[in-house]
Amino acid sequence: MARSRCSRIIVAATLLVSFTVTNVWAQITAKSLSDELLRIVPAESLFCVRINNFDYTLSQIDQFLAGVSPVPMGTSMMVRMQLAQLFGSPQLQGINMGGSFAIFAAAAPGGSIQPDMLSILVPVTDYKQFVSGNANVGEPDEKGVSKITGVGGLVIQLGNFALLKPPSPQSYDKLVKMATTISEPKPAGLATALDTAEAKQAVEQPIWAYGNIQQVSKNFGPLLFAKIEEMKKMIQDVEANAPGSQPRNMQQIMDIYIKLLETLMKETKSLTIAINPKPDVLNITETITALPGTDMANMFVGDTSTRKENKLLGYLEDGAMMNFAAKINAPCYKKFYDKFFDLFAPIFGDTITAEQIAKMKTLTADAIDSLAGPIAFSFSTDAKYKPPFAVKYVLEVKDADKFNRVIQENMQMWDEQAFAGFYKSMGMEVAGTIKRGADSYKGVSIDSANLVMKSTDPNSPQGLMIAAMYSEGLEYRWAMVDGLCVFAVGGDADSAIRALIDQVKAGGPKQLGSEMKAALALLPGADKADVMGTFNYVRMLKMLPAMMGAMMPVPMPEIDIPTKSNFAFAGSVGSGKLTFDIAIPKQHLAEMTAAFQMMMQHQMQQQMKMQPTPMPVQPIMPEGTWTCPMHPHIRARQKGKCPVCSMDFVPVSSPKK
């Protein structure tokens, strides 16, 4: 009896939850489909940018930029001034400044770019007042179209919006046609082209942008690729007239970019960007949606076998230029690297054989299979060393034998100089030495490697940078300890690998670093994302003097700006989508501004020091004194010798009258 009652309770609870979820999503879908703006914007639009709750959103932008923007006037004030100039009234009569504004572009025939492709939607509280209260808006004609004087353009009423178009010979007909189409019972608005998540985002986010990549590709793809072919032809002509003037493999590099662009345009359905400004942080969400049935869609599939949380986040360091953590999504990673090798195979030319490329694919897949999932990576700057950085990363390994075999076979490819020809074709000479069991620490075997890079043209800008970065080689240390593989690269690699071994043997870090805690506060739930991390722009600038010093005519200053904040990011794939979240703290924007101001001030000081010192001009003394017959501009009050030629002074003669 009790068991039966329990079963009924579980069933009832399940039905209640299911009903609630279904009801919520139904309400969201209904809200988006009934959203007037999404019904007005055509489904086949190339793009749409929408700002909800206009006045409030602009005020949030102003608060975020206050104190860090070089522009003294706030965004809301500048926008209001532009609108007042357009409509001819500072009061903006009849305009709902708390509503949703939008700008969108319709496809043009033949892929041409025309001014009247653009349309602007302005929310109105009273259209009659909008016409009568704004001096630049004329009275509507028999089709409801009004002319806008001054800046120019046309406007018509569409429900609770004024639809504007810039002036062109076709604007009038297009405006009337659009108004007629929207008035139909079931207009094919943008709401019909969006999925539930996209429509929800469009209605709720302060700023929302949408790009229809398939429409863009259809309209501008042929024109874009024709321009790229013209560029390739120009590069070929330059190389023919001046051999050696273009970088090696330039044609192959161009072909890769073309192939990558073609793939993105063929397989991407849409791109959306949502921006949420707050006084102390700016949040941005970017979503790439793949076209169903494409390789990209098959790649953007979540891996349910991965753990929900990354237990290696504690290894990420405070003070790093970049922290990165990920969970290995094996199906996604394998498809990505297969695509990567296929895409970049042309650049290898005949320097790497098809068999070697196939072997690299196999080794990459085996490496992915050997890992248990979580990865933690920290990249820190350290100007005391060459190169001026240090890297630490930790991998959880589930198949140590396979992992070690992958390392061994990679080492063999290096020993066989499999990549030497490729690097030489890119203008670099690369050599490496690898030693297994080079050292040991607390019973743990440590492997080592040293990578030496130099340019085939040491006096070129590339050669100077490589020399500044890698003249002492790049040191690697790695070890397997308690199911983890720990790596230390650059800097004091010996000390770093020992510190990592100590951490692992002690059971790992007991808590997250303060900077990682701050990142999770900016992006709640990021620890469950496929990738997450932090990036510090100021710390990157600290590395630039060591990298660029040999190339700069004016030495770059050491950046000594305290920095405690970071950009935070997180990304996930699933259901044919790649979603990437970014948080930009205002504090870090202020730190970046201070760093740039310091660099500019230093550059001005250095340029002033390099200015030639002007020759001193001797003052002309009053008449009735002494002068030099060879240098009459020199005067003295008593007899003596000229400081320029050592001739005796003579009395200054009085001017003749």
Give the ranges where 109-212 is alpha helix by DSSP (H): 127-133, 171-182, 196-204
How does pLDDT run across 270-315, given as a tens digit for each residue?
999 999 999 999 999 999 999 999 999 999 998 877 556 788 999 9
Flag residues of the chain having pLDDT under 50.
Answer: 1-33, 245, 618-621, 623, 655-657
**Helical pair 537-548 and 586-609, crossing angle rounded to 10 deg:** 30
pLDDT of residue 294: 94
**Residue 632 φ then ψ, to 5°:** -65, -15
Separation between Cα atoms, residue 602 and residue 592, nearest integer Å: 15
Pairing of strands 389-397, 428-441: unpaired
Separation between Cα atoms, residue 379 and residue 376, nearest integer Å: 10
Neighbouring CB atoms inside 10 A of 288's CB total: 21
pLDDT of residue 468: 72
pLDDT of residue 25: 38
Q: Which structure tokens are listed for 532?
A: 């997450």
E strands along 312-388, which residues? 322-327, 371-381
Local structure of residue 551 (DSSP, 8 states): G
The size of the chain, in residues, is 657
Separation between Cα atoms, residue 542 and residue 322, nearest integer Å: 13
CA–CA distances in Å: residue 199 to residues 79, 202, 275, 480: 26, 5, 15, 48
The sheet carrying 650-651 orders its strands as: 635-636, 626-627, 650-651
Task: Say what the pTM is.
Answer: 0.83
Query: Which of 368, 374, 370 is CA-nearest to residue 310?
Result: 374
Q: What is the DSSP code string of 224-280?
A: HHHHHHHHHHHHHHHHHHSTT-SPTTHHHHHHHHHHHHHHHHHHEEEEEEEEEE-SS
**Strand, helix or coil for residue 554:** coil
Separation between Cα atoms, residue 87 and residue 93, nearest integer Å: 9
Q: Which structure tokens are listed for 649?
A: 């002074």
User: How would you classify residue 166: left for phi > 0, otherwise alpha for psi between -120 and 50, otherwise beta?
Assistant: beta
How does pLDDT run across 345-403, given as a tens digit for each residue?
877 777 788 888 899 999 999 999 999 889 999 999 887 888 889 999 999 999 999 99
29 touches 186 (CB < 8 A): no
Pairing of strands 47-51, 101-105: antiparallel
**Percent of the chain that is helix, strand, coil (3-state, to 5):** 45, 25, 30
pLDDT of residue 516: 96
Separation between Cα atoms, residue 83 and residue 493, nearest integer Å: 59
